[in-house]
Structure 1
Amino acid sequence: MPLPVKSGNLKKRMILRPQIWACSVAIAALMMPAAHAQQPEATATAAAEAKRDFSLAAQPLSSAIVRFAAQTGTNILVDGTLPANIRTAPVRGKLSIDAALAQMLSGTGYSYRRNDARSFTLIRPGAQNAAKAGDADVQLNVITVSTGTPSVSGLVAGKDAPYETTAAVTSIDAATLQEKNAGNIDNALRASAGTFTRKAMSGAGVAVNIRGMEGYGRVNMMIDGARQNIRVMGHGVSGGSAFVDSDLLAGMDMGRGSLGGAAGVGTLGGAANFRTLGIDDVILPGNSYGAMSTIKFGNNAYDWSRMAAAGARTQNGIGIMGAFNRRDSGAPKSGVDEKGRRLINPNQQEDLKSGLAKLEFGNGEDHKLLLGGVWYNNKSTIRSEPQTYRNQTYTARYDFTPDNDLIDLTANAYYNDAQVRFTEGNYAGQFTRDKGMGIDVTNRSHLDLTNDVALKLTYGGAYYHDDVTNGQSWGTGGPGDGKIGIGSLFTDATFSYGMFDLTTGFHYDTFRLQGDVARKRGSETVLEAIDRSDSSLNPRVTLAVTPVNGIQLYSTYAKTFRPPTVTETFFPGAHGKTPNPTSPNPDLEGETSKGWEFGVNVLEKNVLASGDALRMKANYFSNDVENYITSGPYSMKNMPMLKFINIPGKTRIKGFELEANYDSGFAFAGISYSKTKTDLPYGMWSDGFGIGELNGLPDYTVTINAGFRALDEKLTIGGQIRRVGKTKAVKPPMGPQLIDVEGYMLADAYASYKYNENATFFLNIENITNQAYKPAQYMDAQKLGRGRTVIGGMTLRF
């Protein structure tokens, strides 16, 4: 049984490091000189009651008590698990040690007891701590701390983290995705503020739309930090899709607007990271090995989905796990239309096989290495053209977190190989392939500049490279071959003084684009090599104020930049095996966005009753986009031609977003609301050949969710209403005229029962009223969405 440990032993014992420390014992800060220990009791008491200046930011509980102990010279004893998702309140001002500790623990559910002038015992919610005041020889059990949930630098993961971040960020966990949305990524994203999707009628792939920005890297879509940059021109979502299996996801993290860190490199409107299952998702706490299986079955051609995973971890910090999933869905029926019909859409058939493997070294140590591989294979059909989808993602993440406020280092590297191939029909054998690789390194440092001013630095660099091939010679199909490399240096410096936080930062992005374009020389067509580069400095500044604990106001001015892609620059303009009147454009300029954002965060606990929580995030934004790229016409020998062009002038995007949730334990309710107004132009042949996209978001979206828990909160029953406003679509078959698409409202219900830690059962009913509707942002407005679908399943863990 370990004894209380002084701060000098923190690094050696690896205690309570955020995110990677696996076990915690009683900890203490600086050991005071022996002479101090011999002071009279009255003097020690007076020192404890004396006020001093504090400046501690909100942070995970495990790291907060380490910093608190170090600043105060006290010993803090811990008994019980410290979950990594519990964050403390900020502590600022001139306070006594007791008052500062009470303020720091406010809202966490934890309390404390003073043992003597220099020692405290932390008490977990609802527990009677075994440590007694004055027991110098208290022995505490080694306990497990829940490991953190890492995401890409610039994004956050966890229930509370978005409401403590001065940026428009959202995090969706696996339970919300699976139990509330039956694993439907599109439904989960569309129920989040400021986030939407473009959906091909096929079930394969997801294209994330943020604030009307979509495609060609405007939104940085990632799988475990690996960028997904494949783009298919015609019979696909041309701006790009991410091919990932929702049954292998542990969560999704999104950021809207300007983002710091690696997530914001070379992107215009935001980022979305799809986090896959890890070792800690499979192995139950306290176990060294485990297995997990999720089995689902649904009507309306959903059929069976079967996922199985297993993992093990040794005492020396080595862990391994693997997972496999199989889903073979048929053609679902729509809801009942005005003529009483239920239409069948065969383009939503899927034949999915996917899997992953993770290998971990150094869990619970200063050094940690995580290696991962994710494999995705699917078959589907887009507009009567059968396709296969293959995506392989390989990642490596290294964390170095010594007991040093200047070093908290993370390095990520990846290789991603994605391919879409036509297997039958008019374009059999044609394919698009993107081989991407990248690396990013980020370090975080904390400094106390004075007794009143604290500084947090986040800085690093990133580079990624894409090699695009299509398997055809020029002019016979595909978006064109080429390569692009993008590098960036980034930094954010946050100065904290009292209730104020000032963050200044920038991205310096540079790119190099290479490929061939065809030129006419007399009667011959020759290829000309293009090699061009450019750079952009993108500053960002945020001022935040926390007038009272739990409420934070912030304002941000930022510039973002997106270089032209290989697809836009070198697209030769062919559809099928016959060249069409289109042309590449090697003179494209990159897009920029400049604008303001105003936001408020609310994170209050124990509001109406003990243990409840109110979480709210609201944002207003206004941005001007310059050099927006879309497909447009030009004339050549009196013949209309098409190529990607820069739209002159500025294009305004503005809107309001709200996410609010209240949870008392017994009952919960929430609302998500988005209203975005955009004048973004749509491209020639948008939604027809799928060359340009129509970025016409619905007038508004709102999702209202409510429910209750019973049987000691093992049973959860809830429902949600999804209201989507009217939108625009291209008039069939290819426009250019637009038509109105009516809005719609859908009702869903869900329930789950956690029998014990080993078994959870769940049921989801989508579109309860069996309504026929035309989904917004679908590629073909003539198609109808899925009718009433009931999906039930269970998750078993051993």
Structure 2
Amino acid sequence: MPAHKQYRAAVYVGQLHNGMMVKALLCSVAFVALALHASPVKAQETQARLVQANKLTQFSIAEQPLASAIVKFATQSGLNIMADGTLPSSIQAQAVQGKMSAREALMQMLSGTGYSFKQNGTRSFTLIRQEANNLEDGDASALQLETITVTRPGSTVSGLVGDYESAYRTTEAVSSTDGETLQQRNAGNIDNALRSAPGTFTRKAMSGAGVAVNIRGMEGYGRVNMMIDGARQNIRVMGHGVSGGSTFIDTDLLAGMDIGRGALGGAAGIGALGGAANFRTIGIDDVILPGHSYGAMTTIKYGNNAYDWSKLIAGGMRMDGVGIMGAFNRRDSGAPLSGVDEKGNRLNNNNMIEDLKSGLAKLEMGDGQDHKLLLGGIWYDNVSAIRGEPQDYRNQTYTARYNYTPDSDLINLNVNAFYNDARVRFVEGNYKGQFNRDKGKGIDITNNSQFALSEDIGLKLTTGGAYYHDDVTTGQSWGTGGPGDGTQAISSLFADATFSYGMFDLKTGFHFDHFRLNGDIAKKVNGKLITENVKLTQSSFNPRVTVAVNPLDGLQFYTTYAKTFRPPSVTETFFPGAHSATPSDISPNPDLEGETSKGWEFGVNVIEKDLLTADDKLLLKANYFNNNVENYITSGVFSMSNMPGLKFINAPGKTRINGFELEANYDSGFIFAGLAYSKTKTQLPYGMWSGDYGVGAINNLPDSTLTVSAGFRALDEKLTIGGQIRRIGKSKALKPPFGPALVDVDSYTLADVFASYKYNENATFFVNIENLSNVAYKPAQYMDTRKLGRGRTVIGGMTLRF
């Protein structure tokens, strides 16, 4: 979310047309009449408000400008704060120290500021200027009021942030993208959005389905923990696909995505070598307008260049602490044309054809109470093609999230459970009926505590554990190059402790991961084919230490040393060999060891307000990392009678990955600008057949990436117009079809423009033009180096809420 929108959610003009006032008055009378029949419900809500407001919380807020003080209050209390009117920087809030209720803390903080407050709901307060309180009712409509909403920084998965600004307050290399940025600035293209973020890239498959996240050169087979609403996505598609794994999610259902680079604490970092990516789907609050108990939403898009129509419809309702919603989306896209090449030609890419149907449903219970339960189901069904052979992609994700937040600083319990069933199946062609399927399930439990060890030292403690299990099956027989069958289980215990003393923070933590693999390998002994069951286990202790210094408000320096670990996957261990006529006793590799990465990271966070104008904001995050990877797993070749065979091996020695990442955003309300830059150097080995055949991983990132964006807002910030330049540096790819010879992939520059107009809270219109100059380019990290990227594409649409 743009920075200014966290503080200026909506502008209300006080002077209304007389006819509108009459309609508003009639609606108010109707709602009052309905409310008279709901007195028991109101009594329950009142009681819930009192319980939440009187809950004791440990506060530590220094004397500072009121605008920043309410941010800290929201963070420490977990409550939402709204203010009617711009908060002048000259108003100082009083210091608040000690354990007290939210009401007591607000009264103490607001003493002498000229502001009072009222409670809106169980988790919401509104700050009110005393001069506004003293106005006569007849004069109230003459005020121009601005609603400022401050929400507590969220966390969707332990170790990842769940909102935009929190990324600039943490000692991890994390970032968060909201649904508006994804849908309106990038037209829902998740590859473009990821490639525009620092330290993050994607490997594009030879089909329109799926996304494979690359973080700092790490990609595939669980090196990046890819999730949908916290549910891990572990399916592997061998041969002519993204073998290391893709996530199948309809981007039109996304409310945002959270990225963590490097070593991560909590559940997100378990078994992941390079980081994690969590894709958040829309929920009840995205469908129902604030202050309403039910609502509906639809987003309709149309684009040229074979994008065609995309139609989303959703509806939901909330009553007595229970909410329910559902959504369905349909998109049928054709083969897009590339930009114009040097010969004046435009080529089409049939592999990008999609026939997508998706939907979701969510049930929420206990909103605003100590206990909260969220159940969700997501369904994805797509048909795309690889080399003209259609494949059916199906993914079903079921999640359950339970939160327990009683009146205690020692207990903030989160339990996440999921079941995920993903399948990729050939529906036509030479491999008709063959499939890959992964049925995954898991649960993680995390508790957060905070308390004072003394008057000067505070402690935040996170503890938890997790268990994940995957059952991998295929419809391919031995000797056809498909991945092997088997099961994998990972269990983990983790903890993080942050000690705070003055401007210094010391954070120590660890993961203790244990994995088990179970599967069969085939051998040819004395001319007979036999199978042998193989069981593998390995454990790894992975420590992390971070030292942070906060010399000024809004300025933070930190350094981290960490170790991460990734176990070998079922596919790598039980892979039976590629295109071999019969199984070989050396094609699977049950002797694989897990990968480890050790290294340092140095970073700085900057949040600067009122820099050039009143109420503007600069957010900056920069970091340098240097890691050594041991036992890196890649595809190797061995000699067979008819043609080369493959198996996965541990590369000898250490391989180094280092780089620099910078993300900066400026927003004054009227103008905004952003910059994301990455320079990553990898020395990871190339796997055989990593190119068109998609067995190993192409891990060579572009030498650098740069995205620069800028724009302005007008008409009371209802109209937004902007653009971005994406510069992708030179990279390498394996020379088709086998390698290991390399070919150069040229650098390229793309320009995009976007615009949106928020007519009112019910209607928003938007348009996006990708590749404005219609340049022809070969995308980096694209498996088929003979294909070109999408040419100029105009996508426009509208979102309506009722």
User: TM range, normalised to the smaller chain?
Assistant: 0.7 to 0.9
Q: Distance in 2 between matches of 1:454 and 1:569?
A: 46
Q: Distance in 1 between matches of 2:749 and 2:115?
A: 58
Residue in structure 1 matched with residue 691 of structure 2 by the alignment: 687
Q: Distance in 2 between matches of 1:520 and 1:577?
A: 12
Q: CA deviation at 1:433?
A: 0.3
Q: Distance in 1 between matches of 2:152 and 2:451?
A: 25
Residue in structure 1 matched with residue 172 of structure 2 by the alignment: 167
1:273-422 matches, cutoff 5 A: 273-314=278-319, 316-422=320-426
Pairing partner for 1:536 from 530, 533, 540: 540
Q: Distance in 2 between matches of 1:82 and 1:411?
A: 36
Residue in structure 2 matched with residue 185 of structure 1 by the alignment: 190
Pairing partner for 2:242 from 237, 241, 257: 237
Partner deviation per Cα, 1:735-775 (whole Å, 9 max, x = no partner) = 22100010000000000000011100000000000000000
Q: CA deviation at 1:128?
A: 5.2
Q: Distance in 2 between matches of 1:549 and 1:63?
A: 15
Identity %: 68
Cα pair distance change 1:679/1:82, threshold 3 Å: farther
Q: CA deviation at 1:473?
A: 3.4
Cα pair distance change 1:582/1:60, threshold 3 Å: farther
Cα pair distance change 1:562/1:79, threshold 3 Å: closer
Pairing partner for 2:508 from 498, 501, 504: 504
Pairing partner for 2:785 from 771, 781, 786: 781
Q: Distance in 1 between matches of 2:289 and 2:567?
A: 45
1:118-197 matches, cutoff 5 A: 149-197=154-202
Q: Distance in 2 between matches of 1:242 and 1:524?
A: 39
Q: Distance in 2 between matches of 1:756 and 1:603?
A: 31
1:263-274 matches, cutoff 5 A: 263-274=268-279
Q: Distance in 1 between matches of 2:219 and 2:492?
A: 21
Comparing 382-391 and 559-568, the one that deviates more = 382-391
Q: Is the 8 A contact 1:392 1:418 kept in 2?
A: yes
Q: CA deviation at 1:217?
A: 0.1
Q: Is the 8 A contact 2:709 2:724 kept in 1?
A: yes
What is the RMSD of the two structures over their aligned residues, measured on CA atoms?
Answer: 3.2
Q: Is the 8 A contact 2:153 2:166 kept in 1?
A: no
Task: Tell me the secondary structure at the aligned position of residue 344 of structure 1.
Answer: coil
Pairs aligned (count): 724
Q: Distance in 1 between matches of 2:128 and 2:786?
A: 57
Amino acid at match of 1:533: T
Q: Distance in 2 between matches of 1:694 and 1:348?
A: 20
Q: CA deviation at 1:577?
A: 8.1
Q: Distance in 1 between matches of 2:581 and 2:255?
A: 42
In structure 1, runs of 5+ residues without a counterpart are 2-9, 31-49, 68-77, 90-95, 102-109, 134-142
Q: CA deviation at 1:426?
A: 1.1
Pairing partner for 1:470 from 466, 471, 474: 474
Task: Tell me the secondary structure at the aligned position of residue 338 of structure 1.
Answer: coil
Task: Tell me the secondary structure at the aligned position of residue 583 of structure 1.
Answer: coil
Comparing 421-430 and 619-628, the one that deviates more = 421-430
TM-score by length of 1: 0.86
Q: CA deviation at 1:607?
A: 1.8
Task: Tell me the secondary structure at the aligned position of residue 333 of structure 1.
Answer: coil
Q: Distance in 2 between matches of 1:297 and 1:206?
A: 22
Amino acid at match of 2:537: S
Q: CA deviation at 1:641?
A: 3.3
Q: Distance in 1 between matches of 2:741 and 2:604?
A: 40
Q: Is the 8 A contact 2:703 2:731 kept in 1?
A: yes
Q: CA deviation at 1:472?
A: 3.2
Q: Distance in 1 between matches of 2:126 and 2:606?
A: 24
Say yes or no: does 1:200 pair with 2:205: yes
Cα pair distance change 1:205/1:118, threshold 3 Å: closer
Q: Distance in 1 between matches of 2:564 and 2:760?
A: 48
Task: Tell me the secondary structure at the aligned position of residue 427 of structure 1.
Answer: coil
Say yes or no: does 1:98 pair with 2:81: no
Q: Distance in 1 between matches of 2:463 and 2:437?
A: 33
Pairing partner for 2:661 from 625, 633, 657: 657
Say yes or no: does 1:64 pair with 2:60: no
Cα pair distance change 1:322/1:580, threshold 3 Å: farther
Cα pair distance change 1:390/1:796, threshold 3 Å: same
Q: Is the 8 A contact 2:306 2:334 kept in 1?
A: yes
Partner deviation per Cα, 1:505-528 (whole Å, 9 max, x = no partner) = 000000000000112321212101
Cα pair distance change 1:585/1:611, threshold 3 Å: same
Cα pair distance change 1:546/1:149, threshold 3 Å: closer
Q: CA deviation at 1:159?
A: 1.7
TM-score by length of 2: 0.85
Q: Is the 8 A contact 2:96 2:108 kept in 1?
A: no
Residue in structure 1 matched with residue 522 of structure 2 by the alignment: 518
Q: CA deviation at 1:150?
A: 4.1
Q: CA deviation at 1:611?
A: 1.4
Task: Tell me the secondary structure at the aligned position of residue 609 of structure 1.
Answer: coil
Q: Distance in 2 between matches of 1:717 and 1:116?
A: 41
Q: Distance in 2 between matches of 1:594 and 1:16?
A: 50
Residue in structure 1 matched with residue 491 of structure 2 by the alignment: 487
Cα pair distance change 1:541/1:525, threshold 3 Å: same
Amino acid at match of 2:232: R
Task: Tell me the secondary structure at the aligned position of residue 181 of structure 2.
Answer: helix
Cα pair distance change 1:377/1:28, threshold 3 Å: closer
Cα pair distance change 1:347/1:449, threshold 3 Å: same
Say yes or no: does 1:793 pair with 2:777: no
Cα pair distance change 1:627/1:572, threshold 3 Å: same
Q: CA deviation at 1:633?
A: 1.9
Cα pair distance change 1:144/1:540, threshold 3 Å: closer
Partner deviation per Cα, 1:220-258 (whole Å, 9 max, x = no partner) = 000000000000110210000000000000000000000
Task: Tell me the secondary structure at the aligned position of residue 531 of structure 1.
Answer: strand
Q: Is the 8 A contact 2:295 2:316 kept in 1?
A: yes
Task: Tell me the secondary structure at the aligned position of residue 94 of structure 2.
Answer: helix
Residue in structure 2 matched with residue 710 of structure 1 by the alignment: 714
Q: Distance in 2 between matches of 1:266 and 1:29?
A: 37
Q: CA deviation at 1:309?
A: 0.4
Q: Distance in 2 between matches of 1:468 and 1:773?
A: 37
Cα pair distance change 1:11/1:163, threshold 3 Å: farther
Cα pair distance change 1:173/1:207, threshold 3 Å: same
Q: Is the 8 A contact 1:144 1:286 kept in 2?
A: no
Task: Tell me the secondary structure at the aligned position of residue 263 of structure 1.
Answer: helix
Cα pair distance change 1:478/1:449, threshold 3 Å: same
Q: CA deviation at 1:578?
A: 7.3
Q: Distance in 2 between matches of 1:130 and 1:79?
A: 17
Say yes or no: does 1:461 pair with 2:465: yes
